[in-house]
Chain A
Amino acid sequence: MSREQQPFDPTQPLVATGNLRRRHLVSRVAQGLAIAAAAAAVAVLVIVIWAVVSHGIKAISWDFITKGEPDGIAPDLVGTGIIVGIGTLIAAPIGVLIALFLSEYAGRRGSRAVQLLMDVMNGLPSIIIAVFIYILIVAPTHKQSGLAAAIALSIIEVPLIARGTQEVLNLVPAAQREAADALGVARWRSILTIILPSALGGIVTATLLSVARAAGETAPVLLISSIFSGDTLQFNPLQPLPNVPVRIFQLSEEANPEGFTEAWGLSLVLIVIILVLGLGSRALLNRSKRKLTR
């Protein structure tokens, strides 16, 4: 600054010069790069979704949704529904109980340990969970099954449900607990009749999000429920069940143009299901958060 020895001229317009101009430029460029990064992410999303929609729409028809192979994918949809449904039925209670333990019972050290446990579980590669369930259930019985796949998915869902539930439990106002305590209500009664009901919206949201995640998981199901024929509807979870992600994977491994069309159709159906679940749960979460923090 001091090297500019120009006399002060009040008629000059107030513009940045020299170093300041350079700093402004740097700042402008940095902001531009950040905007470009965000735009790139959105662009990738649009490109992928567009590819799935534009190719998938050709496969979609009433028969495609309601019939079995070779015309349609109904058995795959039903199978995915059953596997994910059973997995969620197993995972939801365990996840909610772990969240309750974290927010209501665990001390500082205990909650840190369980939190770490949940983080590690959440970060486990899903192929390892698949290998684990294969060794534990499929190898000894020499039989793949939808039930075993559901158990594998439940291991993926538990940490998701636990974390989502815990976040909402932490939003339940302390005043509610204190009011219950002041009235002499026992801890377990206040948890079951006051805290859980007011967190219900968040619990449902977390569960829906975990369903969306589980519905698209391929690796756990691939080793455990992959030998099936998708020509008729199958409902028995003790048998391997046809399912959407594994079907897409198998079709993508075969170099067959008709198979590719079917795989695009399957992808479109799967993405629509997942996005609807995601958007629905987000709306639900906003509503219940507003209720809790009002």
Chain B
Amino acid sequence: MSATPPAGSTSLKLARSNRQSSARKRADRFGDVALRLICLGAAVLAAIVLVLIAKEVIEGAQPAISKFGFSFITHHEWAPPLEKFGGEGLILGTLITSTIALVVGAPVAISIGIFLALLAPTGIRNVISPLVEMLAAIPSVILGFWGLLIFGPFLQRSVEPFLHDTFGFIPLFGKPETTGASVFTASLILTIMVIPIIASVSRDLFMAVPQDLQDGAAALGSTRWEVIRGVVLPSTLSGMIAASLLGLGRALGEAIAVSQVIGGGTDSHLSLFKTGGTMASIIALQFSSAVSAIHTASLYYLAALLLVIGVASNLLASWVGMRFGSAGGAMR
């Protein structure tokens, strides 16, 4: 292409380069189509895997679904030897642990986001931000192991008796058990897991709030907190909800750490200080020791429920982000 044709043979060279370039063009047309198809293929493959996951899990659960139907959700007895399976206790355990994780974790995480994005000097932010992300990088099995040996016994010795003595009239704060394994420990481990997720998303959200808006509020005499309360938080509300839903999805589906610290009970109760179980953790604990086909199918049933809840919370998160995030964008 770069060679300049010598005078005289211009027409000859032109003809040759035309021929060459038409071959090249054909190759390029082929290459363009091929690369586009390969990329599309990768995306389609991912979609197929997702659909397959749903299909296989629900099909695996079929025996349990046809045997127990929807009463699986409201029935609380989980007795593998008697072939009686009801998920109410586990669903309740899942809801309680993730709700606590979210109620405790989201405000803390959003405060961390505020600190990192709006309050901390750059130098400190560049140190704390990676540390918060490091917390997210700790494998759940290690967090669970720490919870089992150190955190759980600590809570059982010092925190649970205090809460029981002070708030014992509320059924949530029943009598502590002798080991550290409890719904309470599991909830706090989940809290530790969701905090870095929500914190890093909300930090990015707050960083994106236009400086002009904040300066305007400050110029009108707002204090730093009033700028945050009046400008930053309202304009990022949808994003914070989406981030919390992401954290919720993570908490609902965590199997390993929870199964290490929750004690593996399956009955339905409200006391935080007793052992319990969640849907994900019981799959991890009982899968390899399932005693019958219907036991395995019931575990698949739990997985299918978990899948539906997990996908729903994810879709809700992106819907909230998109639907209300775009309204926020228009405001800017």
Check if A127 sits within 8 Å of B142, measured CB to CB. no
Q: At the interface, yes or no: A179 with Cβ under 8 Å from chain B?
A: no
B303 touches A127 (CB 8 A): yes
**Leading 9 A-B pairs by shortest Cβ distance:** A125-B253, A216-B139, A186-B28, A97-B42, A37-B111, A27-B225, A101-B39, A27-B223, A127-B255
Known A41-B195, A125-B254, A128-B57: A30·B36 in contact at CB below 8 Å: no
Chain A: residues with CB nearer than 8 A to chain B? Answer: 23-24, 26-27, 30-31, 33-38, 40-42, 44-45, 48, 51-52, 93-94, 97-98, 100-102, 104-106, 114, 116-121, 123-129, 131-132, 134-136, 155, 158-159, 186-189, 191-192, 212-213, 215-219, 222-223, 226, 245, 248-249, 252-253, 260, 263-264, 267, 270-271, 274-275, 278-279, 282
B11 within 8 Å of A by Cβ? Answer: no
Complex contact A121–B46 (CB within 8 A):
yes
Chain A residues whose C-beta falls within 8 Å of the C-beta of B28 in the assembled complex = 186, 188-189
Cβ distance B27 to chain A, nearest Cβ, rounded Å = 8
Q: Within 8 Å of chain A (Cβ to Cβ): is B14?
A: no
A-B contact pairs, 28 of them (CB 8 A): A26-B223, A30-B228, A34-B115, A35-B119, A38-B132, A41-B195, A45-B132, A52-B142, A97-B39, A97-B43, A98-B43, A105-B39, A121-B49, A124-B307, A124-B311, A125-B253, A125-B254, A131-B287, A132-B53, A135-B60, A136-B52, A188-B36, A216-B138, A222-B284, A222-B287, A263-B145, A271-B138, A274-B138
Whether A105 and B36, one on each chain, are in contact in the complex, defined by CB atoms closer than 8 angstroms, is: yes
**CA A155 to CA B199, docked complex, whole Å:** 25
Report how far A134 CA is from B226 CA in the complex, Å.
Answer: 53
Contact of B253 with A128 in the complex, beta carbons under 8 Å: yes
Q: Is the CB of A34 within 8 A of B142?
A: no
**Residues of chain A lying within 8 A (CB to CB) of residue B140:** 216, 218
On B, residues with C-beta under 8 Å from A are: 28, 31-32, 34-36, 38-43, 45-47, 49-50, 52-53, 56-57, 59-60, 107-109, 111-112, 114-116, 119-120, 128, 130-135, 137-146, 148-150, 192, 195-196, 199, 223-226, 228-229, 246, 249-250, 252-256, 260, 280, 283-284, 287-288, 299-300, 303, 306-307, 310-311, 313-315, 317-318
Contacts of B138 in A (CB 8 A): 45, 48, 216, 271, 274
| Residues of A with C-beta under 8 A to B145 | 248, 252, 263-264, 267
**Interchain CA distance A267-B138 in the complex, whole Å:** 10
A125 touching B255 by the CB < 8 A rule? yes
Is B310 a contact of A123 with CB atoms below 8 Å? yes
